[in-house]
Structure 1
Amino acid sequence: MGLIQASSNSAMLVRVDDGACQALAVYKPEEGERPLRDFPPRIYRRERAAYVLSDALGWGVVPATVLREDGPFGPGSVQRFVDHDPHQHYFTLHDSRPEAHGDLLRMAVYDVVANNADRKGGHVLRGADGHVWGIDQGLCFSAPFKLRTVIWDFAGRDVPDPLLRDLARLVDELPGELEELLFPAEQVALQRRAEELLEHPILPFDETGGYRVPWPLL
């Protein structure tokens, strides 16, 4: 249907149709990716990995995301489009919707485990049903710790016990598909980050003494 102009890579709004129903989605082809110094090519596969992790934990952070080899611009990820208010983002949700704080705290835990290097405020959407979603997770799962996020308001808060129980399952066994999507060192680092939260169940402060944030903030 068209290119999403604000995207740094070539993200496209598409219509998917199985003959019985239609839906909107966001298609991110490998062909449209800009080379990065600190991430290997095919970051679209990390979009799928982010969904697999969210689904395995049962947290509903990431909209349904699949891989497609036969897209109009070649291989890429296809993620369900979230019907949302474009004027709402992390900062407005945190400041004006206290009922969303539980979802935002869960997303903060998710980002620590996934090692999200690009959690901008505009990557946090409130769906029409009130559910809070995280999008644009292509820069996740690096083995070295690279957390860059705007969600620092919960630093120092305890990780709730239900989330810790979910993380314990991840430590016991990673979803099998992640073995295909991530490098071995990244798989080990993912489980280690989960283990560290179980051993010290507190959301971390920025270890640099400041706040490691992406740019732009939105």
Structure 2
Amino acid sequence: MYDDEALLATGDIELVGLIESSSNSALLVQVLGEAEQSMAVYKPEEGERPLRDFPPRIYRRERAAYVLSEGLGWNLVPPTVLRDDAPFGPGSVQKFIPHDPRQHYFTLYDNHPETHEQLMRTAVFDVVANNTDRKGGHVLLGADGHVWGIDQGLCFSAPFKLRTVIWEFAGLPLPEDLVADLQRLEDDLPAELEELLFPVEQYAIQLRVRELLDAGVLPFDETGGYRIPWPPL
């Protein structure tokens, strides 16, 4: 099978259209290789809005989220690469996941209990990555039943500022398989994160992992409801 990451990294990029619902510029593109093609989402640096609490080039954090997901072995983030030769300059290119837009975190949790194990994994990932913007619509159900997390540019701050809609698993024990994955990460981060994040942000990942392992459960929202992004969907 053709490697998705290789296709995204080397294929020709053709613009299809603008994704209007995105707060920063996000473009639907087609990536064409010699034998395969794929729809993808291209987020150029040029289209980013300046943020007070994140440095420029947040598109690189989309790649960092993919690298972290792969390092954990969780296959949570769609294949994501960095491209300097894209139509509007440097940015991230992430494989587009065909999905039912009527399904999101809230519908999955309420109506699809078979996804709960994957949703809990997403909650753990967000704590480790310090996701400040996990909206319900950032959780997709693929055609094969696999749960994906998208829009992870606002992750990896050193200060803890988790904002997420996924609180239903708070206080539940961490499954043994996830504990084993986190233990590997505690002492050995994926090497590529050194190129994508500041040293203090890398250290903070390991600190959050240790705190999770020490607690053995997912944290509660100790602010009384302020750790939910707006809008929640």
TM-score (norm 2): 0.93
The CA deviation at 1:209 is 2.9
Give 1:112-131 correspondences, 5 Å limit.
112-131=127-146
- Per the alignment, residue 20 of structure 2 pairs with 5
Counterparts of 2:132 and 2:53 in 1: how far apart (Å)? Answer: 10
Task: Tell me: CA distance 1:159–1:211, structure 2 relative to 1, closer, same or farther (3 Å).
Answer: farther
Amino acid at match of 2:89: G
Counterparts of 2:170 and 2:20 in 1: how far apart (Å)? Answer: 33
- Per the alignment, residue 159 of structure 1 pairs with 174
Amino acid at match of 2:229: P
Following superposition, which runs of at least 4 residues in structure 1 exceed 3 angstroms of deviation? none
Of 172, 180, 198 in structure 1, the residue corresponding to residue 195 of structure 2 is 180
Helix, strand or coil at the partner of 2:201 = helix
Helix, strand or coil at the partner of 2:114 = helix
Of 135, 140, 146 in structure 1, the residue corresponding to residue 150 of structure 2 is 135
1:16 aligns with 2:31: yes
- Per the alignment, residue 198 of structure 1 pairs with 213
- How many corresponding residue pairs? 218
1:12-71 Cα distance to aligned partner (Å, 9 max, x none): 000001121111000000000000010000000000000000000001110000000000
1:59 aligns with 2:82: no
1:148-180 Cα distance to aligned partner (Å, 9 max, x none): 000001111111011011011111111100011
Give 1:7-156 correspondences, 5 Å limit.
7-156=22-171
What percentage of residue pairs aligned between the two structures are identical?
Answer: 74
| 1:64–1:80 Cα contact (<8 Å) kept | yes
1:63-86 Cα distance to aligned partner (Å, 9 max, x none): 000000000000000000000000
The CA deviation at 1:136 is 0.1
Counterparts of 1:67 and 1:201 in 2: how far apart (Å)? Answer: 35
Gaps of 5+ in 1: none
Counterparts of 1:15 and 1:209 in 2: how far apart (Å)? Answer: 43
TM-score (norm 1): 0.99
